[in-house]
Chain A
Amino acid sequence: MHSQRIIRSYSALFRKLQIISNIQRHKTQQVAEKIQIPSSFAADLAQIVGKHNVSTANAVREQHGHDESYHSIELPDMVAFAECTEQVSEVARLCNHHGIPLIPFGSGTGLEGGVNAVKGGVCLDLSKMTKIVSVNAGDFDCTVEAGVTRKTLNSYLRDTGLWFPIDPGADASLCGMCATSASGTNAVRYGTMRENTMNLEVVLADGTVFDTAGKGKRTKKTSAGYNLTNLFVGSEGTLGIITKATIRLYPQPEATISATCHFETVQAAVDSTVQVLQCGIPIARIEFLDEVSVDACNKFSKLNMKVAPSLFLEFHGNASGLEDQTKLVAEIVQANGGSNFVWAKDPEVRNHLWKARHEILYACMALKPGTKPYSTDVCVPISNLPKVITRTKEMIQEAGIIGPIVGHVGDGNFHVFYPVHPDDQETLAKVKDVSHKMALLALELDGTCTGEHGIGQGKRELLEREIGESGIKVMRHLKMALDPRGIMNPGKVFF
């Protein structure tokens, strides 16, 4: 009996040591050289997906070695195209057997270098899986495969009176949006992927295929077991590959009104935002542009807006109430010292009003032709937003760099789109320094280092600070449990 207890406590200790050493090994594996691909591998891969769906051509590897971020291209050893979940499962099994890194690829529109193959391996392109599996208009849900993009879905839904409102700007794949817990300009009204993903079909490292909420389940709510759906949302391909997503749909707004206005200070813009939200006005989008952004827009889109901190607003609602609510917002804006409140109902005029906001990324890059966008993504409680933005602008000024600011002010989230030339190490260093300081400031102010873009490669250290040691340990346990060989998108989310 006594000996049994000793044995038990020793095995417990042994197990603990094993887990620790696994984590250590995992850590060192991450620093190791790129894995060597066995010579038979390409043929094995071709057996699964078909010869025409495997490529080692440089051009194809390059296309799959980067996203829309500034992170340098890291080529995968080969690219495979999957056409169905079974193929994804077998590819995972094959990679896991050989310990070869496996990186899922949706639309390549990420902003944090999530698809860059830092350890080589196989990039698994899912864009051929384009089935819209089901649309349940009466239940406001639909299920799509990994290759379906949000614009494709919305076009498909256009005569049902429904839409999927989350709009990150790019025409991203919906499952990719799940993987990065994406959000967009509409989040203040419709939420982010976290709130709108009901079920996921996931392929794990060992090839297991399962549904996070159970096959075919699509209820508005559930208390059945662990919330596995939201475990995979935001996992950035490090825990499994999302092959299908069941997502919430919303009714098309009956009427839409867009408006713009300008303020003397960031504080005034944020105060107006808070008051509008407090009035329960059905604001669908509130976007903040600082004067540098507005100036960039004026130059690029050939507009004539007042160069001052500005808000771009959009209201969705019933035709009857909307105009009154617009008037209420105009009053709030005026009370905060705002000016030039312009609004429109007509789609062409609305599009023109918002043209500036839509083209902002290109406008920022046009400030310095030949540059790529280095974007930051901090998010804080709304009340702390003026502090972060003001301090950020000071730091940008001190560093002598260009940093236009665009914010989803209703969520406390803002981006600085630094135009950086890929070869300009000096500017890049300054930009990285300011961004790092911004993120640290956001963390101090109860915020997060990434509101919607994800951790990818560049924010791993910030994640550790943000979540804390214990939190990171829990994440590592989960990673070890689901991906013991560490093949799922190595080098991302954490070290």
Chain B
Amino acid sequence: MSALRVLVGCKRVIDYAVKVRVKPDKTGVVTDGVKHSMNPFDEIAMEEAIRMKEKKLASEIIVVSCGPSQCQETLRTALAMGGDRAIHVQVEGKEYEGLQPFHVSKIFAKIAQEEKVDLVVLGKQAIDDDCNQTGQMTAAILDWPQATFASKVEIDSGSLKVTREIDGGLENIKVKLPAVVTTDLRLNEPRYATLPNIMKAKKKPLTVKKPSDYAVDISPRQEVLSVEDPPVREAGQKVESVEQLVQKLRDAGLVA
């Protein structure tokens, strides 16, 4: 069995440690001047692909990111971790605000076909929108099997043995290649980019494309009406007795 060609999707999101603030005009969250980094689940996806390459099970890792020009920083980090080539599908400003898994999955599917990849590895969801859709949609468009929430992946001559994290515990499935895998938290611990690798990454190829290059229409399918903070938590009240508790619940119209 020849080594796999792998496509990894990396989304640039607001860093998980940042306290997200809603814009005063309620159209979204503050992103200017805020630290961004690679979606943590995508870091795990990269790490898995790199380990396959280190074991000579993968031959080339192509990383893709869709978004504004700053996505190239994210792609360079992916290359520093061990990616071989990067594709930046440029989508700016207002158009980027309307970009959804529905569009991104079509782009990934097209690239997967063009680049003749055998495996698409994506993070299970992005920490900014929590959609958890891109992997599944990409598989559907390609008509490939999907193994989502993977906590263990093994290659077994033309198929993948994947352990999935599900509500009831762990599920073991076998999927034929080519396939789409989405990564869950316990799959691996991603490596840090080291300085020598960051330097090498600057020389690795990075091509800039547009969604139209893949004949994908990115007109928005949704309109954001407003983005608001959750309601401020009010102080609790201590009651002295069960009777008092019931009375308070009655007063609040919560019980008859």
Contacts and interface: CB of A to CB of B under 8 A. Distances in A.
Do A and B interact? yes
Given A156-B35, A161-B197, A161-B198, A252 B17 contact: no
Contact of B189 (A152, A253, A347): A347
A163 interface: yes
A158 interface: yes
A162 interface: yes
Interface residues of A, number: 16
A159 interface: yes
A171 interface: no
Contact of A161 (B17, B38, B80): B80
Nearest to A158: B192
Contacts of A163: 192
Given A152-B17, A155-B17, A156-B17, A161 B35 contact: no
A354 B193 CA distance: 22
Contacts of B113: none
Contact of A254 (B15, B17, B194): B194
Given A156-B17, A159-B37, A159-B77, A252 B194 contact: yes
Contacts of A169: none
Most buried by B among A159, A163, A251, A348: A159
Interface residues of B, number: 17
B195 interface: yes
Contacts of B77: 159
Contacts of B196: 254
Interface in B185-228: 188-189, 191-198
Main SS at interface, chain A: mixed
A390 B38 CA distance: 50
B195 A252 contact: yes
A186 to B, nearest CB: 15
Contacts of B80: 159, 161
Interface string A249-271: 00111100000000000000000
Nearest to A318: B196
A159 B194 contact: no
Nearest to B191: A347
A253 B194 contact: yes
A155 B192 CA distance: 10
A158 B191 CA distance: 9
B17 A251 contact: no
A251 B189 contact: no
Contacts of B37: 158-159
A159 B38 contact: yes
Nearest to B51: A346
Interface string A341-374: 0000001100100000000000000000000000
A161 B189 contact: no
A84 to B, nearest CB: 16
Contacts of A161: 80, 192-195, 197-198
Nearest to A137: B195
B17 A162 contact: no
Interface string A135-171: 0000000000000000010011011111100000000
A159 B17 contact: no
A354 to B, nearest CB: 13
B71 to A, nearest CB: 13
Most buried by B among A161, A163, A251, A351: A161
Interface in A258-316: none
A143 to B, nearest CB: 16
A351 B17 CA distance: 24
Interface in B121-138: none
A254 B195 CA distance: 8
Contacts of B38: 159
Nearest to B74: A159
A161 B76 CA distance: 12
B50 to A, nearest CB: 12
Interface in A167-216: none
B229 to A, nearest CB: 17
Interface in A96-152: 152
A254 B191 CA distance: 10
A60 B198 CA distance: 45
A136 to B, nearest CB: 14
A251 B194 contact: yes
A138 to B, nearest CB: 10
Contacts of A156: 15, 17, 35
A316 to B, nearest CB: 11
Contacts of B188: 348
Contacts of A253: 194
A163 B192 CA distance: 10
Contacts of A351: 189
Interface string A240-252: 0000000000011
Contacts of A348: 188-189
A162 B191 contact: no
A191 to B, nearest CB: 19
A360 B3 CA distance: 43
Contacts of A254: 194, 196
A368 to B, nearest CB: 33
Contacts of A155: 17
Contacts of B189: 347-348, 351
Nearest to A351: B189
Contacts of A152: 17
Interface string B19-59: 00000000000000001011000000000000000000000
Cβ-closest 5 pairs across A and B: A161-B195, A159-B77, A251-B195, A252-B192, A161-B198
5 contacts: A161-B193, A252-B192, A254-B196, A347-B189, A348-B189
Interface of B: 15, 17, 35, 37-38, 77, 80, 188-189, 191-198
Given A159-B37, A161-B195, 14 more contacts: A155-B17, A156-B35, A159-B77, A159-B80, A159-B193, A161-B192, A161-B197, A161-B198, A162-B195, A163-B192, A251-B195, A252-B192, A252-B194, A347-B189
